[in-house]
Structure 1
Amino acid sequence: LAYAIILPALYAPMIAMLLGLVFRGVAFEFRWRDPAHRAFWDKAFTTGSVIATFAQGIALGALLQGITVRGRSYAGGWWEWLSPFSLLTGVGLLVGYALLGTCWLNWKTGGGLQRQAVTYAGRLGIGLLIMIGAISLATLRLETQYYHRWLSFPGVLATAQVPLATLIVTFLFYRSLRLKRDVQPFLWALALFGLCLTGLGVSIWPDVVPARVTIWEAAAPVRSQVFMLVGAAVMLPVILAYTAWSYWVFRGKVGTEGYH
């Protein structure tokens, strides 16, 4: 049910995101195999990354602002996903991913590139904090339930911990930059993303389609859920182990030759 409603509403940004990811992957490979045109592939990689990220942010904003539902199907138009709020979330995600990228470069590089990454990380951190504030305030105006979930008493005593934690993590992020740490800025940036996801959960829980369809209404049959649970129980440890192994193999600073 959730897919049947959400996907028709977000076909355009989803297609753009997938095309951007394909373009990004091709460019990443060919910049190594076609050094004569590396400048072109660098621009192609940047373009694909920006398109994929911006489209993903737009899709998130379009979902959060609400989808027109009639009965059990999508009833909106082709351009319903496009709004000032969805564009705002698209820009916000661009800033957030750029921050993660600069923190990763700070972790994995040295010398002048690392110093440049630290400088950009400091600026992008401020930008992300501004975007978080702007999106949060705009979200409160989208649906009445968002406003009440965040600001109604006594629930506000719990929800207020999210922005408070965001300020604390931001302080620790800038402290780690000032102390010239390699790994900590990246981890604190991830923590900021985690807090943003927590805020998203506060806003929409227990809905899958905000203010339209709850997780209980969209739930699959029990047998399907059990099947997926078994699959996740098998595959999740494999994915975690592979990811941990990848981090171990590519530990340390990036070299001057090859991919690492």
Structure 2
Amino acid sequence: MRSARRLLAASAVLVLAAGLTACTGSTGSSTTDAAVTPRPEVKGTVTVFAAASLKESFTEIGKRFETAYPGVKVTFNFGGSSALAQSIVSGAPADVFAAASPATMKTVSDAKLTGGDPKVFVKNTLEIAVAKGNPKHVAGLKDLTGLKTALCAKEVPCGAAAVTALKAAGVNLTPATYEQDVKGALTKVELGEVDASLVYRTDVQADAAKIDGVDFPEAAQAVNDYPIAALAKAPNTNGAAAFLGYVGSADARRVLTEAGFQAP
């Protein structure tokens, strides 16, 4: 009986060894190495044009991307999505474009400058940014009437979203200033130059040490989709593809979720 068991055990070892040999081949590489598809070589600089509201989260994602791809450098151009789109159409060199609305991405795709179909990777909603402690006791959009407010310019995604939200609330608001991106509108509150501004929830969260945010129900009717795409004339095509892949990774999604963005 013991001899039979020894024979079975020896046979099992031989079968296992044969299987491992078949997987590793004559070079002796591990099964893990054999199963991994080699990544395209990524070198040089990856240039990303991204909406201003992505600044904090993309800066962190850029650092992690550089760790994952040693020797590669990510450079960012953050700004209003409409201005960035126009820059790309005018020939500004970039590898990736991440916009705060499909409308601004369409400017680039209509010019046949996206390397593939843009993909929505996060969503964002508006909040009312007010000074710490909410000294004007703002509780909703109607409370902005009579206050000094800052809005994003209407052609900028946060401005278009603000127009939608104000219309849904039946509020006719004349702002003290129109800003070219969401960071500009937020800074006006920080400096005390206005009483409130309509910005993204993510921007309020990123600046929570200096300002407070007020939720309002009409924000649900003005949710912004954020599309991302590699660019057709990307100087670094492998870098563009790798960065898009990384933005879709669990690690990057965690960074975006912690920043207050919503899953698409």
**TM-score (normalizing by structure 2):** 0.26
Higher strand proportion: 2
Higher RCO (CA-CA < 8 Å; seq separation 6+): 2
Higher helix proportion: 1
Between structure 1 and structure 2, the one with the greater Rg is 2
**TM-score (normalizing by structure 1):** 0.26
